[in-house]
Amino acid sequence: MKRLPILFTALWMLLAATSGAEAGPVAAAIGAVAGLLAKGGIAGFLIKTAIGLALNFVGSLIMKAMAPKEEPRGVNLQIQMGDDKPSGVIVGKYATAGRRKYIGVWGEVGQTPNAFVTDVIEVSNMPNGAGPAGIVSLWVNDELVEVLWGEPDPEGRGFPIAQYRDSKDQHHLWIRFLDGYQSEADPFLLAKFGTHPERPFLPTMIGRGCQVLIVTARYDSEGLFTNGLPQIVVEPQPIPLYDPRKDSSIGGSGSHRWGNVATYERSQNNAVIIYNIIRGLYYQGEWVFGGQNLGAHRLPTSSWFASMNECDRAIALAEGGTAPQFRSGYEILSDHEPLDVIEKFRLGCSGRITENGGLFKMLVGAPGAAVYSFTDDDIVITEGQTFAPFPTIDQTFNAIEATYPEPRERWAMKDAPRTDDAEMRASDAGKNLPFSVAFEAVPFPTQVQVLARTMLKDGRRFRVHVIVLPPDARPLEPNDVVAWTSKRNGYIDKDFIVESKDNLRNLCVQVTLREMDPTDYDWSSSFQKPVSVGWLGPIRPDTQLMTGWAVEPAIIYDSNNVPRRASMKVSCAPDLDDVRSVWVQVRHVASQQVVFDSDASAYAPPYAWLLDGNFLPNEDYEARGKYVPYSTRPTEWSAWLAVRTPDIRLTDRDVYLPGMLAEIQQHIQRMTEFATTGSRAAIERIRQLMLDEENEASSNFIDRKVIREEVELKIEDTRAFVGESIILAIGPDGVITAVLNEMSAEFETGLATVEQLVQTEVTRINGEIVATAQSIDVLEAHVDDVSASINIRATATAGGPAGGARYAVQVKHGSGENFVSSSLFLEATSGGLGYAGFVADRFYIANPTSVGSKFTPFVFQDGVMRVNAAVLASLIVGEIDAINIKAHSITTDQLKVGGVDTTALALQAATTASVVANSGSVSGGGWSTACQTSVSMAVGGTLFVLFTCRVDVTSTDGSAFASIVARILINGAEYMQVVAGQSSGGNNISGGSFSFVFPIPVGSGTFTVALQFSTTASTGASASASYSRLGVFGVKR
């Protein structure tokens, strides 16, 4: 027995001699020393013996689990940094935090610099070829998150994480996955960090063959990242593996071919994974881990096919359905001992691996039927025998306490339900004898229970015999089953499994047999125990719903309590904690467009708010609300509630400045009195000054001179009179001169008079010199009770508080109480304000006209202005009534492209206006399209079409003639024609401007409007239209 330490030392030296990056399992060791084994000798003997001892370990499944190996480490849940960390390959179902390869900050959001951080994490050093969505699950911090694969970020950040969306529906976390087959450096990382002054991300940083997770996080102010950088644990799709069962070239069925990765498939099968490790993991022909150059014949398909099928065998689950019996996954690091890695997968399927004659075989599940039978008489009694009926107490167990990586608890190692047996404990004198085992490569809780039950049952098969059998037993191999009938031991065809075999020099065979029972491997869903999974992740408060939400019509009043604007009032539940404000949104029902969106309503008594928005009168709206807390807890919108706004229209208070109407009315009254009663009072004052000296008005002067001349004819009731009076007067406080002319004619019931006063005066009033020049004309005519009059008065006054200039004309006609008057008032006041006013039933301004020319006056009547053409730099309109807008009533030649900004229009008051231009020239017969555009009307209304163009028409003599005709097409049909310009007999238009506006009542729909021109020109004449502009917009009814 002294050879055993030497053999184990040889094994250790063999496997430890390779570097961490080149370490392989037993298959790798065999491949590396294949030549030595072939040559034989002591070296071959030692190595072969050492490997055989390692694989053919004698004992139960518990004893195999107790064999020396590395300490369990579980899933890597903390990201690793530094180039001294070993590389890793994830096989099967497993997860990792990975290894950080690059990190950097970039970007700006609002006023926040370096608002983004991007973390580049190496996941696995072999590709899985699963594409951009090649991950199974992702944990961020302590939360299993959802990747929104259908919402790729347009700026290249990757795919957003649903749980990291803030209250404003903005994403704050994205991931991008590279499956290992990338052939160039990531363009996003090059764009963000390629020019970094200290740590540039270089084009050579491709990461060929490496699975990479690129995590980009955005700074948030709502507590989404409470612990700094997000901590990631990612489960990638398994790497494809070779399955010999699917290789038709070696007896399987399928297209798999060893070395052609394109034919491989993803697998979690324990036996498949072990098979690949023994033969070696390769990337593009380069060895990565495990065995090297090991032929397929060294792993007999009969053994491995059976083991792989046993792993895939479906077992029933207590919750319903089935699952493969044995699955696994693990992160293989380059510094792992390959035998230890194989052991983790073997342990995960209750497997047995043996090496015999250079061949590697595996047994999964219950051993088969006996291949050799014998009795006590067949045992070679000349050789020694040993029998161990019971193990020592420290190797006796009646319970299994297992741990495993639980994917639902962020892959942390978790205690499985305890597996124990009351009968076993009773046979052990009631002692609790647990055995602890870590199934690091088994992230499936039910499978762990299957393994623990089999391990416990198998561990109670205590009987172990070491005997020598005759030469006919030499074909036996480890893991074979033999049947033994023994009177001495009381066996009748009792099954034993061959734990080890040693061929003796006398051709006999020494075997180690351990009792076994196939029922130890049976499983029923009734054996399954429930597994409780604890909550991991942030514990967020429940979403708070909007309560007490109400909306009603409301009116905004001015300071005089006059209704001025249509609005609405919203309200909600009072006296709630942690509510800073209420977020209110209002949308128009017809268009579904949000027209009010604000969270500025502070949550405070009376918990109701009158919305200061731009709402149309008598329209249907919907409003919803949401609480905005001081904290970051979530809140939810209320339902949309309907409301119709009051029918409050614009009034004169919206057109005129405050006090303007009253001021103008006062001015009209003042100027009317100035022209009528004021004129009469001024004339009477001069008459008084011309009287004798005893007159009080005349006694204020030191000297005066009056010249008076009159002519009169009178015959009965008929009278004709003309008079002229001149006065010059000087007094201590001033001087005055005046000329008063009077004439009258009387005949029967008729009377006509004219009074004219021209006056100058300079006086001292309250110590100030005041100079006044005045002219008054009063014309009156009367017939019975019918009268007509004209009052014209002009004064110019300098000095004193009443200084200024006034000019008033009033014409008046009527009888009794029915009079019609028109007035013109001009005034320049000392207060710095000038007035020019017309008071008339109809006011107009017109150009001189000639025969045949168009008469288009400007008319103001009954508060309505009518104008054929208007050039307006700015227009403020309270309401447009399409019924009252006639052709030629509004035109402009200043229409600019983009000159209509619909954002300034009230909701649905107009469609999206369209303005197009063409600077080219149009001439010649036939119709030529100069401009064309389209607009859409959501509801019926009026379509306004405006166009303008430059017109050039010339004719050289009296017989020449030229004309330009414009027409408008609506959806291809002619709507109207108009002559834009014409010339004949040398009457030319050069660089003229033509404008036209007209309304068209329409329903809802899309309307294509085209502007076309056709020109006609005789010999010696020409016509063209250029610089055309077409504008179209709609106004709803």
How far is Cα 755 from Cα 932, in angstroms, rounded to an integer? 66
- With 60 as the cut, is the pLDDT of residue 558 above it? yes
Mean predicted confidence (pLDDT) in 454-461: 93
pLDDT 10s digits, 197-209: 999 999 999 999 9
Structure token pair of residue 496: 């034993």
3-state secondary structure 901-913: CHHHCCCCCECCC
pLDDT tens, position by position, 980-1010: 888 776 677 877 777 777 788 888 888 899 9
Which is higher by pLDDT, 865 or 121?
Answer: 121
The Cα angle at residue 503 between residues 501 and 509, in degrees rounded to 5: 70
Which range, of 204-208, 222-226, 575-579, 718-722, averages the lowest pLDDT? 222-226
Give the pair of three-digit tokens for residue 1030: 């077409």
- Taking residues 584-591, report their average pLDDT: 94
Instruction: Give the Cα-Cα-Cα angle 816, 818, 821 (nearest 5 degrees).
Output: 120
Per-residue pLDDT band at 939 (split at 50, 70, 90)? confident
Residue 302 dihedral angles phi and psi, to the nearest 5°: -60, -40
The C-alpha atoms of residue 362 and residue 346 are separated, in whole angstroms, by 9
Average pLDDT over residues 109-128: 90
pLDDT exceeds 60 at position 651? yes
CA 255/CA 237 separation, integer angstroms: 21
Closest CA to 237 of 129, 163, 79, 161: 129
Extended strands (E) in 956-1004? 961-970, 973-984, 989-1002
Q: Which residues contact 396 (CB under 8 A, 6 or more apart)?
A: 390, 428, 433
Write out pLDDT tens, residues 55-69: 554 466 666 666 655
* pLDDT at 760 (0 to 100): 96
Query: What band does 42 get if pLDDT is binned at 50, 70 and 90?
Result: very low
Residue 426 parent element (H or E):
helix 422-427
Task: Map tokens 């100027």 to a residue.
Answer: 671
Confidence of residue 844 (pLDDT cuts 50, 70, 90): confident
What is the pLDDT at residue 534? 80
The arithmetic mean of pLDDT across residues 735-745, rounded, is 95
Contact 947, 1011 (CB under 8 A): yes
Residue 33 has pLDDT above 60, yes or no: no
Confidence of residue 196 (pLDDT cuts 50, 70, 90): very high
Q: Residue 133 half-sphere exposure, CB side, CA atoms within 13 Å? A: 10
Tell me the C-alpha to C-alpha distance, in Å, between residue 745 and each of 111, 372, 409, 683, 751.
Answer: 89, 162, 119, 19, 6
Question: Rounded mean pLDDT of 75-85?
Answer: 74
Tokens representing 944 are 């306004």
Structural domains in the chain, CATH included, are 3-55+240-363 (no CATH), 94-236 (no CATH), 550-655 (2.60.40.10), 660-840 (no CATH), 892-1036 (2.60.120.760)
Q: How confident is the model at residue 7 (pLDDT cuts 50, 70, 90)?
A: very low
Q: Could you report the per-residue pLDDT of 658-682, keeping only the tens digit for each?
A: 777 788 889 889 999 999 999 999 9
The yes-or-no verdict on residue 892 having pLDDT over 70 is no
Judged against a pLDDT cut of 50, whether residue 308 lies above it is answered with yes
Return the pLDDT at 100.
Answer: 94
Residue 16 scores a pLDDT above 90:
no
Question: Which tens digit of pLDDT belongs to each residue from 961-987?
Answer: 888 888 999 998 888 888 888 877 667
Over the stretch 764-822, which tens digit does the pLDDT of each residue have? 988 899 999 999 999 999 999 999 999 999 999 999 888 899 999 999 999 988 999 99
Per-residue pLDDT at 697: 55
What is the tens place of the pLDDT at every residue in 871-882? 665 555 555 544
Q: Where are the alpha helices (DSSP H) in 746-814?
A: none
* Whole-number pLDDT of residue 632: 78
Is residue 523 a contact partner of residue 452, using CB atoms and an 8 Å limit? Answer: no
Report the share of the chain in percent with pLDDT over 90.
58
pLDDT at 477 over 50: yes
Region of poorest pLDDT, from 2-11, 205-214, 843-852, 913-922: 2-11
Q: What is the pLDDT of residue 839?
A: 92
Mean pLDDT, all residues of the chain: 85
Which residues, in sequence order, are CB contacts of 108 under 8 Å at separation 6+?
114, 115
Specify the pLDDT at position 884: 39
802: DSSP letter: T
Q: Output the pLDDT for position 852.
A: 65
Whole-number pLDDT of residue 982: 80
Confidence of residue 284 (pLDDT cuts 50, 70, 90): very high
In degrees and rounded to multiples of 5, residue 683 shows phi and psi of -65, -45
In percent, the amount of the chain with pLDDT more than 70 equals 85
At 313-325, the pLDDT tens digits run: 999 999 999 999 9
SS3 (DSSP) at 979: strand
State the pTM of this model. Answer: 0.58
Residues 6+ apart with CB under 8 A from 913: 900, 902, 935, 1031, 1032, 1033
- Residue 81: pLDDT band (50, 70, 90) is confident
Which stretch of 438-442, 639-643, 981-985 has the lowest confidence by average pLDDT? Answer: 981-985
pLDDT, residue 6, reads 33
Task: Report CA-CA distances (Å) from 510 to 357, 386, 469, 915.
Answer: 16, 11, 6, 103
Note the Cα 998 to chain centre separation in Å. Answer: 42
3-state secondary structure of 28: helix
Give rounded-to-5 percent helix, strand, coil for the chain. Answer: 20, 40, 40
What six digits make up the tokens of 839? 């008071």
Q: Could you identify the residue written with the tokens 């609405």?
A: 568
Decide which of 201 and 74 is more confident. Answer: 201
325 CB-near residues (< 8 Å, 6+ apart): 310, 311, 312, 313, 314, 315, 349, 365, 447, 450, 523
